[in-house]
Amino acid sequence: MAEDLREKLKSDIQATHAPELLPHHRRDALFMVRKDVDILDAAVAIASDATEIVAVLIKEEKLFKPSLAQLSDWCVDRELRFQFVILQPYVLAQALEDVQAESDKSQN
């Protein structure tokens, strides 16, 4: 069963640019996944209600809601792409470029 969920979510992962993520941010449903976490692992944890794993990801800020300033910065770079997966009502996204090092600095 868990393997079926993993395969389903793996097939649901897509790529996009930052402006397409804005509507999800506006409805407070966008979560970013740090590069050192497999987006598929995070998606499986959320979809299977693994609350302990999700709580650790949030506590360690490996799963976070981006600020509007971060999203605005990302929207400027037309080359920047994100992979994302929809887990109703949430959307998980992860940078495909080296954007997170810069955005991490802006959070401090």
Q: What is the pLDDT of residue 54?
A: 97
Q: Supply the range of the domain harboring residue 11.
A: 2-107
Instruction: State the average pLDDT over residues 65-69.
Output: 92
For the segment 55-81, the average pLDDT, to the nearest whole number, is: 93
What are the Cα distances from residue 49, in Å, to 55, 95, 104? 11, 24, 27
Higher pLDDT, 25 or 102: 25
Q: What is the rounded CA–CA span in Å between residue 6 and residue 84?
A: 15
Confidence at residue 68, expressed as pLDDT on a 0 to 100 scale: 87
| pLDDT value, residue 104 | 43
The alpha-helical segments, DSSP class H, found in 1-108 are: 2-12, 22-26, 39-47, 51-59, 68-76, 100-107
Residues 6+ apart with CB under 8 A from 52: none
**Total count of domains within the chain:** 1
Confidence of residue 96 (pLDDT cuts 50, 70, 90): very high
Question: CA-CA-CA-CA torsion for 64, 95, 85, 73, nearest 10 degrees?
Answer: 70
Q: Is the pLDDT of residue 99 over 60?
A: no
92, two tokens: 């998980």
DSSP 8-state assignment for residue 80: -
